[in-house]
């Protein structure tokens, strides 16, 4: 997969996911295609988080739809946390955008970050 232009860490992650399926090579190719499609979509407006969103969304049945949801979650988190701690808003959003309750998870993670770092 690294010969297809993927970074080694992303290639390893996708290979690990594909290896547990019945058709690992086919699954790996599909995951790479979905990863690239989502990464290209997200890069347009969120280049700093495109790889993270693409890696999380490429496993979904509808990866672009999932990416839209993740980006919307990311933006909401940055908006909410940015009002109380703009320096940490993106870091928190990057950890919480995949959650089914992103604002609650973001607030919880933010408290942990603040208490750990002062």
To the nearest 10°, the Cα dihedral for 22, 23, 27, 30?
Answer: -140
Q: Which domain holds residue 110?
A: 2-117
Q: In this predicted structure, what is the pLDDT of residue 118? A: 64
pLDDT digits (tens, 9 = 90+) for 27-67: 889 999 999 999 999 999 999 999 999 999 998 999 999 99
Tokens of 49: 């988080």
Tell me the three-class secondary structure of the chain, residue by residue.
Answer: CHHHCCCHHHHHHHHHHHCCCCCHHHHHHHHHHHHHHHHHHHHCCCHHHHHHHHHHHCCCCCHHHHHHHHHHHHHHHHHHHHHHCCCCHHHHHHHHCCCCCHHHHHHHHHHHHHHHHC
* Domain tally, the chain: 1
Tokens of 36: 């690239």
Share of the chain above pLDDT 70, in %: 96
């Amino acid at each position: 997969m690294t010969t297809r232009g993927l970074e080694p860490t992303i290639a390893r992650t996708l290979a690990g996911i594909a290896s547990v399926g019945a058709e690992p090579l086919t699954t790996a190719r599909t995951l790479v295609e979905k990863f690239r499609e989502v990464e290209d979509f997200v890069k347009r407006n969120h280049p700093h988080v495109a790889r993270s969103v693409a890696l999380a969304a490429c496993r979904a049945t509808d990866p672009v739809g999932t990416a839209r949801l993740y980006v919307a979650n990311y933006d909401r988190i940055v908006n909410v946390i940015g009002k109380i701690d703009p320096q940490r808003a993106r870091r928190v959003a990057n950890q919480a955008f995949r959650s089914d309750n992103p604002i609650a998870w973001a607030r919880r993670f933010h408290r942990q970050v603040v208490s750990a770092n002062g």
